[in-house]
Amino acid sequence: MSPLEILIYILGAVGLFFNTLGTVALFRFPDVYTRLHGATKCTTFGSIFLTLAVILYGLTSWQSGGESRYGILALHAAVALVALLVTNPTGAHAIARAAHRSGVGPKFAVVDALADEKGRRK
């Protein structure tokens, strides 16, 4: 196995590890906000590594075999990575905002400045 192949496997393993943790977080944490931490952020970080593994795999296959479709695979994975980085926090923010607006408070919270602010306005 070449060093590059080993690197691809390491990147894939790191990505899988964080994605698994994100899934575990769904079961461990008590409410929607803390679950969002695990489910959206750990999986973004894991997916970065998985995408890097795909990009590296595409580039090395392109180099060794000469088939351009592997280069295109790497290119598309890079575009997907950028899209992921932009849309994932936006989605997490939208879910959290919608949850708070519809009256779902954070459980076990030591402080809730947003609810205090809304109470003052009413």
Given the rule CB under 8 A, which residues bind other proteins? 18, 21, 24-25, 28-29, 31, 33-34, 36-38, 41-42, 44-45, 68-69, 71-72, 75-76, 79, 85-86, 88-90, 92-93, 96-97, 100, 106-115, 117
Q: Which residues contact 100 (CB under 8 A, 6 or more apart)?
A: 114, 115
Whether the CA torsion 38, 39, 45, 49 is positive or negative: it is positive
Q: Are 40 and 91 in contact (CB under 8 A)?
A: yes
Supply the minimum distance, in Å, between the C-beta of residue 43 and other proteins: 10
Amino acid at 47: S
Q: Which is nearer to other proteins, 33 or 57 (CB)?
A: 33
Q: Which is nearer to other proteins, 6 or 86 (CB)?
A: 86
Q: Which is nearer to other proteins, 7 or 99 (CB)?
A: 99
Distance in angstroms between the alpha carbons of the first and the last residue of the chain: 66
